[in-house]
């Protein structure tokens, strides 16, 4: 039996906060309250720390198969665990792309053998991500939770309409990277958001819009929701926190917003316009980055960046942040995660709210360090990450999958 007890800790989730003990038995929250004594349990001292449900990332690139110099499933999992994430949805723009059951199965099997974070593959909408022909949705459906050509938009409206119908008939979502090629930034996004909202309304298909960056897109989504269109939307930490004025023209898709647009995005976020914050963790080698590859390696800095800019500034409570990093994305993915509640998956993060650190070269477990915030001081250090009752990250170290191993490491210290 695997028993983990976190004692005397401040517990915060999307439904509120309390102080006491959290017990995880065989991977699920089994008891919540005060002063338990569980013989044989591994005990973590929560004094001075805050326990949150594990974070769920709707959107990451682990580059496996195909780009081992940027990242692979192992280093991506290390980075996720370091960032407090226990479940990660990985995009299909690998090489080969995840457009066949073979690739999806490879990802699932490798993730299972690593035994760190849970990895949920996304299947490509079109064969080879070429935007010409739909993949075999029914064949992919048993292995993926959603479909997306993320990295680029699906330009053809007829394919997107078919994709929405087919995915929904299989109980899956379509994740749209809303960006027409060859158009200027805001127009490229807003036009595809508008089209996809129309298509979702016409087909009744479940649409999730990825990394929205234009306040006008968000307004359209709000109106569509009010009209009953089945749509959800995510925003990234970098689009919320980093402006073009402050961080130059750091390459990322969609591009960083100007300060005025960023503030409008923040206002929309604070009004509850998004169901989730997703990292769009997009690791690139220094060489690829120098040649203009778009993307920010962000899964390790997501929580501290948001905690520093929103919670410490008094804009958002930690409970609200937990909704965006855990419950919101877990609901979109249909996972029994995101709350510290008996019967839910025993995934959690122990955070040191008053500990600050500088994001330096040694901070990263990812293979890539492409972020414009190197050198920045952030608050909210992740002290431990627990996935189904197993401590997978602890005090600066990624631990193995084995419960007895991690027990030894923790008890010896
Ligand atoms: O900046 C980005 N990088 N945006 C995307 O949509 C794709 C990602 C990547 O795969 O590098």
Query: What's the CATH number where 183 sits?
Result: 3.20.20.140
Instruction: State the DSSP code for 119.
Output: E
Q: Is residue 299 part of a domain?
A: yes
Q: Does 39 share its domain with 126? A: no
- End position of a domain, from candidates 303, 333, 363: 333
- Does residue 251 lie in a domain region? yes
Instruction: Determine, yes or no, domain membership for 94.
Output: yes
CB of residue 295 inside a 6 A radius of ligand 1: yes
Q: Which two tokens stand for residue 109?
A: 């099997």
CA-closest candidate to residue 279, choices 312, 313, 306, 316: 306
Helices 185-203 & 215-226 angle (0-180, nearest 10): 10
Q: Which residues are CB-neighbours of 406 under 8 A, at least 6 positions away?
A: 42, 390, 391, 392, 394, 399, 400
Task: Report strand pairing: 55-60 vs 28-33.
Answer: unpaired
Is the domain of 12 the same as that of 94? no
Q: Please indicate whether residue 93, judged by its CB atom, sits closer than 6 Å to ligand 1.
A: yes
Q: How far apart are CA 187 and CA 140, in angstroms?
A: 33
Reported residue count of the chain is 413
| 177 Cβ contact list (under 8 Å, min separation 6) | 148, 149, 150, 151, 152, 153, 210, 211
The per-residue pLDDT for 34 is 87
| Residue 371 maps to a domain | no
pLDDT at 402 (0 to 100):
63
364 belongs to a structural domain: no
Q: Tens of pLDDT along 262-284?
A: 999 999 999 999 999 999 999 99
- Whether the CB-CB separation of 170 and 136 falls below 8 Å is answered with no
| Nearest alpha carbon, ligand 1 atom 1 | 295
74 & 157 share domain: yes
**Region for 40 from its dihedrals, namely left if φ exceeds 0, alpha if ψ lies in -120 to 50, beta otherwise:** left
**Count of domains for the chain:** 2
Residue 147 falls inside a structural domain: yes
Residues 206 and 255 in one domain: yes
Do the beta carbons of residue 279 and residue 234 sit within 8 Å? no
Boundary-marking domain end, from 274, 300, 333? 333
* pLDDT on residue 336: 98
Tell me the C-alpha distance between 44 and 391, whole Å. 10
Q: Whose CA is nearest to atom 4 of ligand 1?
A: 253
Give the C-alpha distances (Å, rounded to integers) separating 217 from 189, 233, 257, 360: 7, 10, 13, 34
Ranges of the chain whose pLDDT falls below 50: none
Confidence (pLDDT) at 238: 98
* 158 plus 241 within the same structural domain: yes
Centre of ligand 1 from the C-alpha of residue 151, in Å: 5
Of 200, 201, 181, 180, nearest to 191 (Cα)? 180
Enclosing domain of residue 228: 54-333
Residue 84 backbone dihedrals phi, psi, to 5 degrees: 90, 5
Cβ distance 283 to 268 under 8 Å? no
Does residue 10 share a domain with residue 139?
no
359 part of a folded domain: no
Q: Where are the beta strands (DSSP E) in 182-310?
A: 207-209, 231-235, 276-277
Cα gap 216→34, rounded to integer Å = 48
Tell me, yes or no, whether 151 and 248 share the same domain: yes
Ligand 1 pocket check for 381: Cβ under 6 Å: no
Domain boundary residue among 301, 333, 365? 333
Is residue 325 domain-shared with residue 384, that is, in the same domain? Answer: no
User: Which CATH number fits the domain that encloses residue 23?
Assistant: 2.30.40.10
- Separation CA 237–CA 232 (nearest Å): 17
Q: What b/e readout covers 8-45, taking b as 16+ CB neighbours within 10 angstroms?
A: ebbbbbbeebeebbbbbbeebbbeeeeebeeeebbbbe
pLDDT tens digit string along 141-157?
A: 999 999 999 999 999 99
Secondary structure of the chain: what % helix, strand, coil (to 5)? 35, 25, 40
Same domain, 21 and 71: no
The verdict on 130 and 23 lying in the same domain is: no
Tokens of residue 100, six digits: 């066949």
* Euclidean distance between CA atoms 13 and 333, whole angstroms: 18
pLDDT recorded at residue 25: 96
- Identify the sign of the CA torsion 257, 57, 198, 157: positive
Instruction: Give the number of the atom of ligand 1 that is nearest the alpha carbon of residue 294.
Output: 1
Residue-level pLDDT at 403: 62
256 Cβ inside 6 Å of ligand 1: no
Out of 150, 249, 366, mutate this one to test ligand 1's pocket (max ligand atoms within 8 Å of CB): namely: 150
3-state secondary structure of 96: coil
Pocket lining: 265 vs ligand 1, CB cutoff 6 Å: no
Active site residues: 280
Phi first, then psi, for residue 324 (nearest 5°) are -75, -25
Does residue 148 line the site of ligand 1, with CB under 6 A?
no
Residues 399 and 261 placed together within one structural domain of the fold:
no
Does 108 reside within a domain? yes
Instruction: Let me know whether 202 and 212 are in one domain.
Output: yes
Q: Are strands 55-60 and 85-90 parallel, antiparallel or unpaired?
A: parallel
Ligand 1 atom with the shortest distance to the CA of 177 = 6
């Amino acid at each position: 039996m695997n028993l983990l007890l976190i004692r005397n800790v401040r517990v915060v989730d999307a439904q509120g906060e309390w102080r006491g003990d959290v017990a995880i038995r065989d991977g699920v929250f089994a008891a919540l309250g005060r002063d338990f004594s569980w013989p044989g349990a591994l005990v973590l001292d929560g004094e001075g720390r805050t326990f949150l449900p594990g974070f769920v990332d709707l959107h990451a690139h682990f580059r496996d198969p195909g780009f081992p110099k940027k990242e692979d499933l192992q280093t991506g999992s290390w980075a996720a665990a370091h960032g407090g994430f226990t479940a990660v949805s990985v995009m299909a723009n690998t090489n080969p792309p995840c457009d066949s059951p073979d690739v999806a199965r490879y990802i699932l099997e490798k993730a299972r053998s690593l035994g760190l974070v849970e990895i949920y593959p996304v299947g490509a909408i079109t064969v080879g991500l070429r935007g010409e022909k739909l993949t075999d949705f029914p064949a992919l459906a048993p292995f993926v939770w959603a479909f997306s050509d993320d990295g680029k938009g699906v330009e053809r409206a007829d394919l997107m309409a078919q994709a929405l119908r087919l995915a929904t008939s299989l109980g899956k979502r379509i994740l749209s990277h809303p960006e027409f090629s060859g158009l200027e930034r805001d127009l490229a996004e807003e036009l595809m958001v508008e089209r996809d909202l129309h298509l979702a309304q016409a087909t009744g298909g479940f649409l999730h819009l990825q990394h929205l960056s234009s306040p006008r897109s968000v307004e359209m989504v709000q109106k569509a929701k009010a009209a009953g269109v089945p749509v959800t939307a995510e925003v990234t930490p970098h689009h919320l926190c980093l402006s073009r004025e402050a961080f130059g023209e750091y390459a990322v898709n969609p591009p960083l917003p100007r300060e005025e647009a960023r503030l409008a995005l923040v206002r929309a976020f604070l009004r509850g316009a998004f169901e989730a914050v997703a990292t769009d963790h997009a690791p690139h080698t220094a060489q690829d980055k120098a040649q203009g590859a778009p993307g920010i390696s962000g899964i390790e800095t997501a929580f501290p960046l948001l905690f520093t800019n929103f919670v410490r500034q008094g804009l958002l409570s930690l409970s609200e942040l937990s909704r965006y990093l855990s419950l919101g994305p877990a609901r979109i993915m249909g996972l029994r995660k995101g709350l510290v509640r008996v019967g839910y998956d025993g995934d959690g993060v122990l955070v040191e709210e008053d500990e600050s650190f500088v994001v330096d070269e040694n901070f990263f477990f990812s293979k890539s360090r492409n972020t414009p915030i190197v050198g920045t001081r952030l608050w909210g250090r992740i002290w431990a990450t627990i996935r189904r009752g197993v401590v997978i990250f602890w005090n600066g170290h990624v631990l193995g999958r084995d419960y007895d191993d991690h027990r030894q490491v923790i008890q010896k210290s």
